[in-house]
Structure 1
Amino acid sequence: MFSHLPPLNSIRVFDSAARLKSFKAAASELNVTPTAVSHQIRGLENSLGTLLFERKTRAIELTEEGEKLAQVAYLALQQLSTVVSELTDTQTTLTVSTTASFAAMWLVPRLEKFHQLNPQIQVVVKTGEQLDDFDRDKRIDLIIRYGRDDGESLHKIKLVTETVGAYATPRYLENTPRIEDACLIETKWKNQDLPSISWDRVVAGKIDAINRRYFDLEHHVIQAALADQGVALVSSLLVETAIKQGWLVAFPNQPRITGLAYFLMIPIHNAHNHKVRGFQEWLINEFVVA
């Protein structure tokens, strides 16, 4: 029935080269030589009677036929991997892409709960401020990102809209009870597409001379506050653990403002993946009980 199909190994090699857009990178991922990858691709092209890649100087690009095969090959290999993992009950990897601050201050402190419920799934957290491309790196299973609340879509699920408040250590608050005397710490986003959330929105017109300090990541702002350096203007979501532990307290008489939203994004090819759906359900439940 399937005698006309090429060998599975050649499909694995092709999938790697297609995802990474490089024979050399594919060789590294598969622990073989670039020559071996090239031979596998050439053999696959000969058996199919068509070119799958355009070879250019120091680069390769998929042909139209290559694009078609790449989409089907990845889905087939992923489905095969999922079923094999279920049958053998072996550990599988779930790769989550998110921002460094969300990972450090919210996700990682809670991951032990997920591991206890799903010991067979190893969660790998990939951090960065720019949105990853699902099509370029299909090893990413899902993305958690922060931005404007522009609505949900089929594969974009809103998790929560944050509030932003002022937080300091009890010791700093005792020594500096007036906001007018405090060092005010805030985030200047690396991602220029994000709207600014500044102390100007909180203390505008109330303080003539403001002592300011800036960091480009929210968890650096929180760490500065934890080190008694000032009052942090940050997401109440990201300081939940510090509040529960008594390390930070809300600075009194300072208003909270509405921040941005966190979204979960799932690629179409992972919409029915059991480990992705399990992580999605756990994540949503964590926000509900929080």
Structure 2
Amino acid sequence: MYPKLPSLNILRTFDAAARLKSFKKAAEELHVTPTAVSHQIKTLEEGLETLLFERQTRAVKLTREGELLSDTTFSVFRQLTYTVNEIVDSKQILTISTTSSFASMWLVPNLDTFYDAHPGINVSIQTGEQKVDVLRDRRVDLAIRYGQYDPAQPHTSKLVTEKFGLYAAPTYLDKVTTLEEAQLLETEWVNKSLPSITWEALIKKSHPDNTVRRFDQEHHVIQAALAGQGIALASSILVRNALKYQWLVPFSNDTLPGEIEGLTYYLVVPPHNQRNKNVAAFTEWLSSEIQKSLA
């Protein structure tokens, strides 16, 4: 019926090598040897009478024909997975890439409402400060980015620009009532391209004797505040749950602003997932929940 169609096993091997841009990683995923992967790719290329990969010293790169076939195999295998999952009534997995702080302080605490609305979808979260290239790494369905948002950047949409406020544990403020007495907590970004949001800029020279403790993750700053170690300069988005349960409370001072503008959370959805119903369900839920965080 399909006389020129390569075997499903060879196409599966090609799909893995194309997604991972590596014969070695494809072999690990498929539990075969790199030699077996190389042999099957060569067989496929000979059958199609065209090169699908450019072999480089420590990597492989898709040719134009390889990119064309990769787009098709990815779509076909994903659709097959969705169909089989639907038949056996198993849960589908949505893989999200985001920062450690957003995952631990906002996304995970709020996921129950997503699962209540979409019990057939499981969310897998990948965290890290290094950006995953979601346009190429098809193991990730979408990314929640943090930083300075450029509306001209393709495949992105703005979620929210946060505010930074001053927060501390109630027990800490029972002991420390003035800013002069307080230990100050802030984030020193790992990504040096991000603009600094610091106590020094906020208090200028009016309180030069304060001790400032710095962490390279926002959630470490918040955890330190929860442990009663000082007053945190932190995102109003990330402290939402701590404020809800009154584990933290706002700190007010007549000489300081209540809140200052922070950075922006935005979505990156690759073109091949623009019409994915699970991605659409998650992004709709995320936008709605983020707006509730502002209320």
Tell me the TM-score normalized by structure 2.
0.92
Alpha-carbon distance in structure 1 between the residues aligned to 2:94 and 2:201: 39
Aligned to 1:109: 109
Of residues 236, 247, 262, the one that matches 2:265 is 262
1:249 aligns with 2:249: yes
Aligned to 2:148: 148
Q: Which amino acid letter does the alignment assign opposite residue 125 of structure 1?
A: I
Alpha-carbon distance in structure 2 between the residues aligned to 1:155 and 1:2: 36
Q: Which amino acid letter does the alignment assign opposite residue 186 of structure 1?
A: E
Aligned to 1:77: 77
Q: Could you give the per-residue CA deviations for residues 87-114 of structure 1, whole angstroms, max 9, x where no partner exists?
A: 5432111100000000000000111221
Q: Is the 8 A contact 2:165 2:260 kept in 1?
A: yes
Q: Could you give the per-residue CA deviations for residues 126-173 of structure 1, whole angstroms, max 9, x where no partner exists?
A: 001122112431110000011113326663111111110111111111
Alpha-carbon distance in structure 2 between the residues aligned to 1:135 and 1:35: 28
1:38 aligns with 2:38: yes
Q: Is the 8 A contact 1:186 1:213 kept in 2?
A: yes
Alpha-carbon distance in structure 2 between the residues aligned to 1:94 and 1:248: 32
Aligned to 2:161: 161
Q: Is the 8 A contact 1:180 1:207 kept in 2?
A: yes
Aligned to 2:211: 211
1:56 CA drift (Å)? 3.6
Aligned to 1:289: 292
What is the root-mean-square deviation in Å for CA atoms of aligned residues? 1.8
Q: Is the 8 A contact 1:159 1:284 kept in 2?
A: yes
Change in CA separation of 1:61 and 1:152 when aligned onto 2, cut-off 3 Å: closer
Q: Which amino acid letter does the alignment assign opposite residue 161 of structure 1?
A: T
Aligned to 2:277: 274
Alpha-carbon distance in structure 2 between the residues aligned to 1:42 and 1:154: 35
Alpha-carbon distance in structure 1 between the residues aligned to 2:267 and 2:93: 18
Alpha-carbon distance in structure 2 between the residues aligned to 1:233 and 1:250: 10
Change in CA separation of 1:151 and 1:53 when aligned onto 2, cut-off 3 Å: closer
Structure 2 gap segments, 5+ residues each = none
1:81 CA drift (Å)? 2.7
1:124 CA drift (Å)? 0.6
Aligned to 2:132: 132
Alpha-carbon distance in structure 2 between the residues aligned to 1:280 and 1:71: 23
1:29 CA drift (Å)? 1.1
Q: Which amino acid letter does the alignment assign opposite residue 261 of structure 2?
A: T
1:174 aligns with 2:174: yes
Alpha-carbon distance in structure 2 between the residues aligned to 1:118 and 1:40: 39
Q: Which amino acid letter does the alignment assign opposite residue 91 of structure 2?
A: Q
SS state of the match for residue 262, structure 1? strand
Structure 1 gap segments, 5+ residues each = none
Alpha-carbon distance in structure 1 between the residues aligned to 2:81 and 2:38: 24
Q: Could you give the per-residue CA deviations for residues 16-36 of structure 1, whole angstroms, max 9, x where no partner exists?
A: 111212112101112223233
Runs of 4+ in 1 over 4 A off after TM superposition: none
SS state of the match for residue 209, structure 1? coil
SS state of the match for residue 196, structure 1? coil
Identity %: 53
Bigger mean CA deviation after superposition, 169-178 or 36-45 = 36-45
Q: Could you give the per-residue CA deviations for residues 240-286 of structure 1, whole angstroms, max 9, x where no partner exists?
A: 11111111111122421011111011000000001101111111111
Bigger mean CA deviation after superposition, 53-62 or 274-283 = 53-62
Aligned to 2:226: 226
Bigger mean CA deviation after superposition, 82-91 or 68-77 = 82-91
Change in CA separation of 1:135 and 1:148 when aligned onto 2, cut-off 3 Å: closer
Change in CA separation of 1:154 and 1:278 when aligned onto 2, cut-off 3 Å: farther
Aligned to 2:99: 99
Q: Is the 8 A contact 1:152 1:158 kept in 2?
A: no
Bigger mean CA deviation after superposition, 174-183 or 51-60 = 51-60
Alpha-carbon distance in structure 2 between the residues aligned to 1:105 and 1:202: 24
Alpha-carbon distance in structure 1 between the residues aligned to 2:126 and 2:285: 19
